[in-house]
Structure 1
Amino acid sequence: MKIRLASSADNPAILGFCEHHAMQGALPLRFDRSPDYFALHRCHADDHRTWLAEDALGDVKGIASLVVRDGYLHDRVQRVAYLGDLRIVPDRRLSRSWMDEVRGRLADLERDAGVQHAYCCMIRDNKLAAQSLLGTRRHGRLPLTHWRGYGNVSIHGRKGWQGFNALHDRDDDITSRPARPIRVVRAQSHHADALRAFLDAESKAQPFGPVFDEREFERRLSTWTDFGIESFLLALDARGNLVGCVAPWDAGRIKRIVLEKLPLSLQAIRVAFNAFAPMFGRPRIAPPGEALLDVYLTHLQVKQRDPEIFAALLDAAWSTLRNRYALVQLCLYDDDPLWPALARYRLTRVPMDLYTLSSERAGAAIDSASAARIPGFEIYLV
């Protein structure tokens, strides 16, 4: 078995491997990253590396990626890494050499780029991954430390008939909540400086939070597909202060979710939803094996994690997305204060977990001061 650094020439082989090796669990799924596997990594950061394990015939038997960026950790800016796409075919010998390789690459990152801390995510009931990565008796296992649980949330409707009723809100003043004077507007160019500063201030309080300096903010606006300043919805208080934001993003040109099969309960929901969807102008939920028509709620930041502010943003986003997408995807954490805002929505939730991985010379990535903080994790870049 040969393990080597991948290049753009390996794109077809990597896409083929991902197509035939779904992530297991109660809801088996895979990401369709065609036509360019590396496009999503470029959205995440400029510095990204992918490794392949190949057999004697040159067939891919495993992949792993590391994306390196600046992040807030221990109240300062550090170089941090995201460990993703960690997938290998079942093979005990390959598993041992693969974990040794990952440890070696992390050691290289510490030596060459000063990266001491990395993080990754895992489907909670993916027993095969848990056994491979977390089994205490496995030789040479990665020293992963559990960080935080979260839910991969898929919203598919509003409760009651208003879930199907169209809302006719003006685009420049999308919605307001009479119980509290929160106004939601679509961002324009003159909002850019205040929006960037707000994103950075909120991210600074979140472990591994991205650094939104001027360069990084402009990089995202200019290089992400179908994305720009006008993608953002801004929540403003009675004095016009920015108190929350979210940016719905259709990543469909570079990443799509494909469910390999559905449990009977979710299949029943899909059939019932699809029976009524055409009557109310809603797109159907795709069957297993086809890409979901979904959109991500990215850059979700809410001052003091206030559920009322989030509810205003969510309602505004839903009113603009409901006729174009069958599912609206987001990430909420276990014990997240934002959960009450979802009480009026119909959704499914896939339990996930975040883990950290630190070098031997570094202390813990998540210390007691930051354990209760909301993670600086961007699910849409996974």
Structure 2
Amino acid sequence: MDMKLKEFVAQHPGMSIASQEDNESILNFFENLPMKGQGLQLSYHRSPDFFTFLSLQSNQFYVFIYREQNQILAVGSLSLRPAYINGAEQALGYLGDLRVRPQLSSTRAWRDFYNDLMQSSNQIDELSQVHYFVTAMIDSNLIAKKALVGQSRLSFQYNEISKYKMINLLGRYKTCKLHEGYSVSRTQVLDSKETIDFLNITHAQLQLGYTAGEWSRRSKFTNAEYVIVKKNSKIVGFTQLWSPSPFKKIIIEAIPLSLKVIGQILLSPRSRFRVKEEFKVLYLNAITVAAELSLDDQHYVFNLLCHQSWKSSKMKNYHCLAFADFEQHSFSDALKGFISNSTPMSLYQVVLRREAEEFKIEQTHPVCFDISLV
């Protein structure tokens, strides 16, 4: 028998769906339980409203919280959106914002809830059409990987869709010449039928590609700029320059010595980042390159998108450009003229063991996944 999500959550003691009234408590919880990795140490700030960033991820999202004695001990979110998966339009759930205070009771309560949620999702009204769930993890976050990936006692499993790198372009030492037949344009509005047709056709062939409805939603993002590359008057490349700041701010907590040296020697004063200040990142979102191009031409178009984005007037307000580079369809090795660093990450499908083959996200398609919204 189907039930409402609120009814399902109420069956788990201490669990609830967060509302705006919980905003301050959630922000305090995140402030006191930062996510740690290696290398450049960053913290993520969502004040003054934790929920605003989630509304950028999706029009439909839920935040789950676990309390003991009126104190939050665990938080996780679920955002839903349409996406192309294995060539067809499907409902996709993104599992994010997971923070659990490391103590036995909260760890066990969250594990049991998460396990039941995955098992019962097809019986919950709001999730009954969602057969695909994904999440992302930093590879250096060994605690999270140990707690979640490879846990055979759970009813679900984590299947790696792809390894990827978060690439930060910190400085530029060489330009990229415009080859004959190529042109570049910029626009603040995504309303060209030619561009929208290119995106709809191309993204239908990507894993997690954006649907027409998602493009319509994203076209309303404020302060976005679109960079479009044409070859012989035909669109062959696209990216959306956009940042979620101030709704999600990245604060630098510690800088490794190697990056300090790079910053002092190679980066301009504008590009240098400092401890306890915001690390301002402008993201290349929805990087889209025409599949019919030769590999060399694809690499050139990608380089052109990066270099033209670096030349944007928006860059004067940011430390770097960033994008996700996926292992199966990597462009970063062909990138020329930039000083960069990278963070290894992995994208996983979260799927019930009994449905792992029926609802498998195949690794035969390039992946579309924007790190600006995770």
- Which of the five TM-score ranges fits, normalised by the shorter chain? 0.7 to 0.9
Q: 1:22, 1:260 within 8 Å by CA — same for their partners in 2?
A: no
Give, in whole Å, the separation in 2 of the partners of 1:298 and 1:225. 14
- TM-score, normalised to structure 1's length? 0.85
1:134 to 121, 125, 149: 149
Give, in whole Å, the separation in 2 of the partners of 1:133 and 1:100. 12
Unaligned runs of 5+ in 1: 164-174
Query: Where does residue 291 of structure 1 map in the other structure?
Result: 278
CA displacement 1:291-322 (0-9 Å, x = unmatched)? 20221111211112711111111111111144
Shift in CA distance, 21/267, structure 1 to aligned 2, threshold 3 Å: farther
Which piece of structure 1 moves more, 310-319 or 32-41?
32-41
Shift in CA distance, 361/71, structure 1 to aligned 2, threshold 3 Å: farther
Give, in whole Å, the separation in 1 of the partners of 2:146 and 2:76. 17
Q: 1:296, 1:329 within 8 Å by CA — same for their partners in 2?
A: yes
CA displacement 1:100-131 (0-9 Å, x = unmatched)? 21233334432223111100000101111111
Shift in CA distance, 272/2, structure 1 to aligned 2, threshold 3 Å: farther
Q: 1:277, 1:284 within 8 Å by CA — same for their partners in 2?
A: yes
1:75 to 87, 90, 99: 87
Using the aligned pairs only, state the percent identity: 24
2:368 maps to 1:371: no
Give, in whole Å, the separation in 2 of the partners of 1:102 and 1:192. 42
What is the Cα deviation at residue 74 of structure 1? 2.7
Shift in CA distance, 207/189, structure 1 to aligned 2, threshold 3 Å: closer
What is the Cα deviation at residue 6 of structure 1? 0.5
Query: Where does residue 226 of structure 1 map in the other structure?
Result: 223
Query: Where does residue 4 of structure 2 map in the other structure?
Result: none
- TM-score, normalised to structure 2's length? 0.86
RMSD between aligned residues = 2.3
Structure 1 stretches of 4+ moved >6 Å: none
Q: 2:238, 2:287 within 8 Å by CA — same for their partners in 1?
A: yes
Q: 2:156, 2:351 within 8 Å by CA — same for their partners in 1?
A: no
Q: 1:232, 1:246 within 8 Å by CA — same for their partners in 2?
A: yes
Query: Where does residue 168 of structure 1 map in the other structure?
Result: none
Give, in whole Å, the separation in 2 of the partners of 1:377 and 1:330. 9
Q: 1:96, 1:140 within 8 Å by CA — same for their partners in 2?
A: no
Query: Where does residue 335 of structure 2 map in the other structure?
Result: 342
Q: What letter matches 1:277 in structure 2? A: S
CA displacement 1:351-376 (0-9 Å, x = unmatched)? 00011012355344445xx3132213
Q: 2:151, 2:157 within 8 Å by CA — same for their partners in 1?
A: no
Give, in whole Å, the separation in 2 of the partners of 1:191 and 1:316. 21
1:122 to 137, 162, 168: 137
**Which structure 2 residues correspond to residues 1-382 of structure 1 after superposition, within 5 A?**
2-27=14-39, 28-56=41-69, 58-111=70-123, 112=125, 113-136=128-151, 139-140=153-154, 142-159=156-173, 162=174, 177-178=178-179, 180-187=180-187, 192-213=192-213, 216-222=214-220, 224-227=221-224, 231-238=225-232, 240-273=233-266, 277-278=268-269, 282-287=270-275, 289-304=276-291, 306-320=298-312, 321-360=314-353, 362-364=355-357, 365-366=359-360, 370-382=362-374
Shift in CA distance, 189/285, structure 1 to aligned 2, threshold 3 Å: closer
CA displacement 1:144-167 (0-9 Å, x = unmatched)? 1111100011110113xx58xxxx
What is the Cα deviation at residue 73 of structure 1? 1.5
Give, in whole Å, the separation in 1 of the partners of 2:348 and 2:287. 21
Shift in CA distance, 207/300, structure 1 to aligned 2, threshold 3 Å: same
Query: Where does residue 3 of structure 2 map in the other structure?
Result: none
Shift in CA distance, 378/188, structure 1 to aligned 2, threshold 3 Å: closer
Q: What letter matches 2:226 in structure 1? A: F
Query: Where does residue 166 of structure 1 map in the other structure?
Result: none
CA displacement 1:19-39 (0-9 Å, x = unmatched)? 222222214433211222111
Give the secondary-structure state (helix, strand or coil) at the position aligned to 2:340. Answer: strand
Q: 2:119, 2:155 within 8 Å by CA — same for their partners in 1?
A: no
Which piece of structure 1 moves more, 20-29 or 30-39?
20-29
CA displacement 1:75-106 (0-9 Å, x = unmatched)? 21111100001110112332222122123333
Give the secondary-structure state (helix, strand or coil) at the position aligned to 1:309. Answer: helix
